[in-house]
Structure 1
């Protein structure tokens, strides 16, 4: 796991020394992602510079140093991630005449590009990655991101320079990067708690979509951000919607036992691939189905006790450490458990803006940061159970949305529309539950719009962000699957395409990389995803319990008593914090005079919710937390800019 950064000028007007200094500073902002090595490569005749920070996982020798040039010297790469099937690709490439100096996956990646080109290569790779590849012959830069979006990649314009990096803090280091807040992206944050790709919090700045490629040359740089359309210019080599539609069109035809055998085989292989490392490997274990499956499959393939890690919370209903402890004892892992106090959790909050460097408001970021810090004391790689809910119908909100959609379809259209008009008069109050919440779904045209009401925070965020127009996402489509599959499949697709890469995987990436820990997710192997999509819904949503097939696999390793139990999730008591130890901090950030001076949010609307929350009205903490995360980030960003200018 590493960090990458770089820049491309519209004309080669900077000398090698200046390019090296600029790219070096951008790369050094990512030292936490790669504390083991530092590299910069420039070609001043082309105006290109690549920087890299390395966290050594495979081939710890200098032969893994980046940026790395291909054997024929045509390509130079700065790469973040792991190609899990690199050994298989290497065998094919050796048979085709390629020779290798070391055993890093980076060298295999470059040889593959020489053999097949970048587009065919990424389609052959099973891994998590963000890639910046310079083609000396074509004089163009390629950016690429893995299928699911495990690894981040930002890009944009700093003045007339094209800049890119694993995190925004790398882009901030370019002296011309002074791109202000994009109001449309801020509105997305208020609705979703995160900003989905291709949007980013800054103007003229974007995120590469999962499973996408972007080709940039000097002419494209010269045209500037105004001529760039990410939806047009980013090319998907793997698109979840089309892959899910194809899987549904060619469904799995075996019985449930055959499906169980196949899933066990796929997960075992996916887990084994992710255990390959030249450094210690462990696992995050919560005691729920997903992390327990991964832990069991790791232990089944290890000759030694697997190192498992769990965070417990003192005097909290969020504590589930005892569930993880039972699983660890049964599987005989080497288990580490740390109980933390409320003060320990609250101490993380001031670090969040620097850790995420784009406003992010999933409050489970706090316990995730704590468990990553714990794991890093003993391992450099940790596997996680991310993806099980989105692939195997794991969320309770799916059931609620299907229930409501079933009710709504029985109500005559004119009555539904009249009730919906009444709900709109309630505004944000429809978020507090009860009849107002149900009425807000009355004019839904499909399961997608019903589900959006389940997951949205601010119902009308553009109304509280001056100048904002809310961008379209998959959550705005009546049927995200466009006629294929079931309503349940459509909801899982929306979460897999948006919530998973832009919330869950962002959370795990930033919290783990903040402590130089690599996180890997076997359930998100693309082969597992496409197999899950091919399954009939009854193998996931079942009278005996949801995630049915995944639990059948888990029963091969754990007793029923450890499989058939509910799980509350990895949460944080935000409401308690805001009424207690964080009240003064929140009051300062939400001060109406401050909000008016900054001009990014409607001060009266925000203050109204803050006062209602303090008066005891329920649920407003979810609205307020994403506002607070933006305000805290904005304060951090201004401080960073001030430091750059001084």
Structure 2
């Protein structure tokens, strides 16, 4: 796992010494690669490639980057892991004229590109990656990102330069870098809690989308308009393929086989490897399979909280004890959890408002104290229908008389109805019910079932926080085009795999882990498992009311059902309570210190929901955390 950065620069640029700029860009990424630093410059050609290295495979100087191909034609900076690179080496062996210099997957990828071309090499790769390749012969810059979007890559244009980097903070090392905020991206942020690809928070700066290759010919000009974008893999193909024809039991057998293959390959490293363990289905399955193929105790890590409603540590400990792992947990006080908040803007360097970023950051720090690589169970909910909203969407489609029901629910969702519900002597459950009715009414306002799910996933009520025309017309801009799904459950899970997974889940884990120089790997997102999962009928994923059925069946061979069969808790912290208590003064300062001249957010709405939240009338933590993370980012980077 590493950080990459670089540029093509025109002769008209007067930003200063290109070598100094490149050093500044890579220095900003030191947390992603604390072990080594490298630069390659062609001053005459106006090309610079930089690299920060976290040494995981081949710790020797033979893995140093930027790496030049045997012929001298290509220069590569690479972030990630190619898990099957040894197989690629075996396939290449007969065509090489000289022995390998080392054992790194970077060298394997570079030789594959030189032999088969970029597309031919990527198609053979199983892994997570983002890389930049300079073709000195054709004067072409090529950027690529892995299939599911595990590794980030930003690119764009600024002051006569075409720039790229693993994180936005690298661009701030460029003199004068201060592009305007992209209002459309800001609208998407408030819908999704994060800025989705292809947007970034800045105008003229973009994210490469998952499974995408960018090609820019230097002679054609260094602008976004001249960058050619192509996809080399698509989830749509799996959805359009013939469905799995075996029995449910056959599906469980095949899933276990694929997972074992993925996990074996992802446990390979020249540094200590461990795993996150929450005690839920996904992480428990990954750890169980890891332990089954390991000749030593697997290192597992979890964190707990003093507040019982947010504490999963006891469940994780029971699973770890049953599997016999070497388990370590940390019980976090509210003070310790709050201590990470001042660093959130710097860690994510783009507005990001999934509050589970706090426990994720704490877990990553705990894990990095002991190991350099950690496997996680992310992806199970997207692949095997684990989210409640997916089941809700499927149930809605089975309801008769949706139009009448929508009218009734809209009435219940009105302010008057909410006031009545809040006045009932039923405690917080009335607020929860009113909120659910509101969300459901907004969902049912759409006629198209797929638009209904987008509304359910993105929750349009947050749009009112943005001071613009609400941009409903942009709802499709950062979401997949029409999916050829077989049913609503399949559509919903595919939609989440293409939006929520890369935009929120994977970005959260990548930034939190890289902030402490920890490499994370996600076995369930091996593209062969993803393709298999989306060929399964939805009836194989949800059976007898149990979600993620194939995963549960794999896990039952290792862990008693009673240890993991419990309501889904998520990975959250009591933000709503903290905003009424220890975070109140900090939040008020961020929310209102600059509201008089704010050109982006609706101050009237923000003040109203803040008063209601403080009075306990409503839990507006989702709305307020979005505003606070945007304000914190403004304070740090504007």
Report the alpha carbon displacement of residue 216 of structure 1 after superposing the two structures with TM.
1.4
CA gap of 1:544–1:605, structure 2 versus 1, over 3 A, is: closer
Task: Kindly indicate whether residue 227 of structure 2 is the aligned counterpart of residue 239 of structure 1.
Answer: no
State whether residues 157 and 177 of structure 1, in contact with CA within 8 Å, keep that contact through their aligned partners in structure 2: no
State whether residues 155 and 206 of structure 2, in contact with CA within 8 Å, keep that contact through their aligned partners in structure 1: yes
Question: 1:474 & 1:527 partners in 2: Cα distance?
Answer: 28
Task: Kindly indicate whether residue 275 of structure 2 is the aligned counterpart of residue 274 of structure 1.
Answer: no
Report the alpha carbon displacement of residue 484 of structure 1 after superposing the two structures with TM.
3.1
Task: Kindly indicate whether residue 303 of structure 2 is the aligned counterpart of residue 311 of structure 1.
Answer: yes
State whether residues 183 and 467 of structure 1, in contact with CA within 8 Å, keep that contact through their aligned partners in structure 2: no
Structure 1 unaligned regions, length at least 5: 639-646
Question: 1:234 & 1:606 partners in 2: Cα distance?
Answer: 39
CA gap of 1:532–1:156, structure 2 versus 1, over 3 A, is: same
Task: Kindly indicate whether residue 384 of structure 2 is the aligned counterpart of residue 392 of structure 1.
Answer: yes
Question: 1:279 & 1:550 partners in 2: Cα distance?
Answer: 29
Q: 1:438 aligned to 437, 440, 447, which one?
A: 440
Report the alpha carbon displacement of residue 556 of structure 1 after superposing the two structures with TM.
1.1
State whether residues 443 and 456 of structure 2, in contact with CA within 8 Å, keep that contact through their aligned partners in structure 1: no
Report the alpha carbon displacement of residue 473 of structure 1 after superposing the two structures with TM.
5.2
State whether residues 305 and 332 of structure 1, in contact with CA within 8 Å, keep that contact through their aligned partners in structure 2: yes
Question: 1:5 & 1:558 partners in 2: Cα distance?
Answer: 44
CA gap of 1:549–1:630, structure 2 versus 1, over 3 A, is: same
Which residue is 1:293 aligned to? 285
Please show how residues 57-96 of structure 1 align to structure 2 within 5 Å: 57-96=56-95
Question: 1:105 & 1:349 partners in 2: Cα distance?
Answer: 36
Q: 1:332 aligned to 324, 338, 344, which one?
A: 324
Report the alpha carbon displacement of residue 490 of structure 1 after superposing the two structures with TM.
0.5
Question: 1:567 & 1:482 partners in 2: Cα distance?
Answer: 28
Which residue is 1:490 aligned to? 491
Deviations 1:145-168 (A, max 9, x none): 000000000111121211110000
CA gap of 1:208–1:508, structure 2 versus 1, over 3 A, is: same
CA gap of 1:475–1:73, structure 2 versus 1, over 3 A, is: closer
Question: 1:425 & 1:317 partners in 2: Cα distance?
Answer: 30
Which residue is 2:131 aligned to? 131
Which residue is 2:348 aligned to? 356
Question: 1:76 & 1:47 partners in 2: Cα distance?
Answer: 14
Report the alpha carbon displacement of residue 558 of structure 1 after superposing the two structures with TM.
1.0
Report the alpha carbon displacement of residue 542 of structure 1 after superposing the two structures with TM.
1.0
Please show how residues 417-456 of structure 1 align to structure 2 within 5 Å: 433-456=435-458
Question: 1:250 & 1:275 partners in 2: Cα distance?
Answer: 32
Report the alpha carbon displacement of residue 301 of structure 1 after superposing the two structures with TM.
1.0
Report the alpha carbon displacement of residue 195 of structure 1 after superposing the two structures with TM.
0.8
State whether residues 148 and 211 of structure 1, in contact with CA within 8 Å, keep that contact through their aligned partners in structure 2: yes
Question: 1:191 & 1:396 partners in 2: Cα distance?
Answer: 18
Question: 1:293 & 1:97 partners in 2: Cα distance?
Answer: 40
State whether residues 158 and 176 of structure 1, in contact with CA within 8 Å, keep that contact through their aligned partners in structure 2: no
Please show how residues 617-636 of structure 1 align to structure 2 within 5 Å: 617-636=617-636
Query: How many equivalent pairs are there?
Result: 624
Question: Per the alignment, in what secondary structure is the counterpart of residue 444 of structure 2?
Answer: coil
State whether residues 13 and 47 of structure 1, in contact with CA within 8 Å, keep that contact through their aligned partners in structure 2: no
State whether residues 141 and 218 of structure 2, in contact with CA within 8 Å, keep that contact through their aligned partners in structure 1: no
State whether residues 12 and 45 of structure 1, in contact with CA within 8 Å, keep that contact through their aligned partners in structure 2: no
State whether residues 282 and 382 of structure 1, in contact with CA within 8 Å, keep that contact through their aligned partners in structure 2: yes
Report the alpha carbon displacement of residue 181 of structure 1 after superposing the two structures with TM.
1.2
Deviations 1:389-434 (A, max 9, x none): 0000111121222223332x5235xx5786798799879x899525
Question: 1:237 & 1:314 partners in 2: Cα distance?
Answer: 46
Deviations 1:107-127 (A, max 9, x none): 001000001111221121110
Question: 1:467 & 1:8 partners in 2: Cα distance?
Answer: 37
Question: Per the alignment, in what secondary structure is the counterpart of residue 433 of structure 1?
Answer: helix
Which residue is 1:579 aligned to? 580
Which residue is 1:501 aligned to? 502
State whether residues 328 and 335 of structure 1, in contact with CA within 8 Å, keep that contact through their aligned partners in structure 2: yes
Question: 2:438 & 2:274 partners in 1: Cα distance?
Answer: 46
TM-score, structure 1 as length reference = 0.92
Which residue is 2:601 aligned to? 601
Deviations 1:61-81 (A, max 9, x none): 000000000011100011100
State whether residues 13 and 160 of structure 2, in contact with CA within 8 Å, keep that contact through their aligned partners in structure 1: no
Report the alpha carbon displacement of residue 177 of structure 1 after superposing the two structures with TM.
1.8
Task: Kindly indicate whether residue 567 of structure 2 is the aligned counterpart of residue 562 of structure 1.
Answer: no
Report the alpha carbon displacement of residue 476 of structure 1 after superposing the two structures with TM.
8.5
Query: C-alpha root-mean-square deviation of aligned residues, in Å?
Result: 2.4
Deviations 1:156-208 (A, max 9, x none): 11212111100000011111421121111111111111111000001111000
State whether residues 2 and 81 of structure 1, in contact with CA within 8 Å, keep that contact through their aligned partners in structure 2: yes
Task: Kindly indicate whether residue 371 of structure 2 is the aligned counterpart of residue 379 of structure 1.
Answer: yes
State whether residues 302 and 330 of structure 2, in contact with CA within 8 Å, keep that contact through their aligned partners in structure 1: yes
TM-score, structure 2 as length reference = 0.93
CA gap of 1:482–1:356, structure 2 versus 1, over 3 A, is: closer
Question: 1:434 & 1:421 partners in 2: Cα distance?
Answer: 11
Question: Per the alignment, in what secondary structure is the counterpart of residue 329 of structure 2?
Answer: strand
Which residue is 1:410 aligned to? 401
Report the alpha carbon displacement of residue 471 of structure 1 after superposing the two structures with TM.
6.7
Question: 2:9 & 2:477 partners in 1: Cα distance?
Answer: 37
CA gap of 1:125–1:91, structure 2 versus 1, over 3 A, is: same
Question: 2:233 & 2:561 partners in 1: Cα distance?
Answer: 37
Deviations 1:474-517 (A, max 9, x none): 5988x965443111010111100010011000000000000000
Task: Kindly indicate whether residue 248 of structure 2 is the aligned counterpart of residue 256 of structure 1.
Answer: yes
Which residue is 1:523 aligned to? 524
Question: 2:632 & 2:163 partners in 1: Cα distance?
Answer: 25
Question: 2:415 & 2:8 partners in 1: Cα distance?
Answer: 50
Q: Which moved more, 1:134-143 or 1:448-457?
A: 448-457
Question: 2:575 & 2:616 partners in 1: Cα distance?
Answer: 14
Question: Per the alignment, in what secondary structure is the counterpart of residue 461 of structure 2?
Answer: coil
Question: 1:439 & 1:258 partners in 2: Cα distance?
Answer: 40
Question: 2:636 & 2:14 partners in 1: Cα distance?
Answer: 31
Question: 2:577 & 2:83 partners in 1: Cα distance?
Answer: 42
Report the alpha carbon displacement of residue 544 of structure 1 after superposing the two structures with TM.
4.9
